[in-house]
Amino acid sequence: MEFNIIQILLVGVIGFLGGIDQFSFLESLYRPIVMGPIVGAILGNFDLGLKIGASYELLMIGSMPIGGAQPPNAVLGGIMAVVFAIALNQPNFESALALAVPFGLLGQQAVNIWFTVSAPAMAKADSMAAKGDAKGIERLNIMLMLGIGCLFGILAMIGAGAGQAVGQTLSEAVPAWVWAGLGAAGGMMRFVGFAVLMKVMISGEFWTILIAGFASATLIDKAMGTGAYTLVIVAILGGALAYYDFQINTKIKANAGSAKEDYSDGI
């Protein structure tokens, strides 16, 4: 599929907004599950953009920046995953996830370079703060936001244009068994990303709840045939139990705090 100049420019706009949101607005608009369907709609395939965005979100969901250490960038990687999926036009769309990972690493390096280049601005901001120049600090922040937005916008446009050409070349030159392997790798990445998140968040006391949730989902699906709605039903049940547990623990803590000690026996 060929992308026209308007589509490439609009992808650049999405990259621009995503770059700003990731480091300034923090409204989660930059997440692949949000940007994927938008980029897909721009490139003419909303459904595929939604599938790719959701899949890439699972891949990135456990990757969090810690201090100056940046994970593969979700903005550029997510955009390129959708670009490759549409440009390749392969039945196994998950192969695009594997191809997009290097662009996520490219975005990671771009962020590191930008942070290095903009580091002297912190000293400038300190100087403005000492003088009480609030307007100057505001202008400096806006300038830095526009800078990283432009960086991501340009990279997204270059990626969309290059991804189109690369996708057409690869779809003709690469044999089917290679695409099958890339598809398997892309499918596996989703589980790896979610496993990373669970490793960080999971606590030993919750394993029984996870097992109960898995068993409930299997039983409900087999017994009731709820299909795609099974997880929604289990999530509602889990939410109700969690809220009940929260109420009980809140009451226990409140009663424990209000209880008065009896020193009548001298102890």
CA distance 245 to 230: 23
For 208-233, how does the pLDDT look when each residue is reduced to its tens digit (9 = 90+)? 887 888 888 888 888 887 777 888 88
For 78-92, how does the pLDDT look when each residue is reduced to its tens digit (9 = 90+)? 998 898 888 877 666
Q: Mind spelling out the 3-state secondary structure of the chain?
A: CCCCHHHHHHHHHHHHHHHHHHHHHCCCCCCHHHHHHHHHHHCCCHHHHHHHHHHHHHHHCCCCCECCECCCCHHHHHHHHHHHHHHHCCCCCCHHHHHHHHHHHHHHHHHHHHHHHHCHHHHHHHHHHHHCCHHHHHHHHHHHHHHHHHHHHHHHHHHHHHHHHHHHHHHHHCCHHHHHHHHHHHHHHHHHHHHHHHHHHCCHHHHHHHHHHHHHHHHHHHHHCCHHHHHHHHHHHHHHHHHHHHHHHHHHHHHHHHCCCCCCCCC
Count Cα neighbours of 117 within 13 Å in the Cβ-side half-sphere: 10
CA distance 180 to 65: 32
Is residue 75 within 8 Å of residue 30, measured between CB atoms? yes
Q: What is the pLDDT of residue 12?
A: 93
CA distance 129 to 126: 5
For residue 2, name the pLDDT band (cuts at 50, 70, 90): confident
Residue whose pair of structure tokens reads 């990259």 in the numeric block: 15
Instruction: Identify the bridge partners of residue 69 per DSSP, sorted by sequence position.
Output: 66
Q: What is the pLDDT of residue 85?
A: 84
Backbone φ and ψ for 72, nearest 5 degrees, come out as: -50, 135
Q: What is the pLDDT of residue 87?
A: 82
For 38-85, how does the pLDDT look when each residue is reduced to its tens digit (9 = 90+)? 999 999 889 889 988 888 888 887 777 676 677 788 888 899 889 888
Amino acid at 50: L
Dihedral of alpha carbons 77, 57, 95, 14, sign:
negative
Amino acid at 222: K
Cα–Cα distances (Å) from 111 to 65, 68, 80, 129, 160, in that order, read 11, 10, 17, 26, 19
CA distance 142 to 65: 22
CA distance 256 to 119: 50
Whole-prediction pTM? 0.69
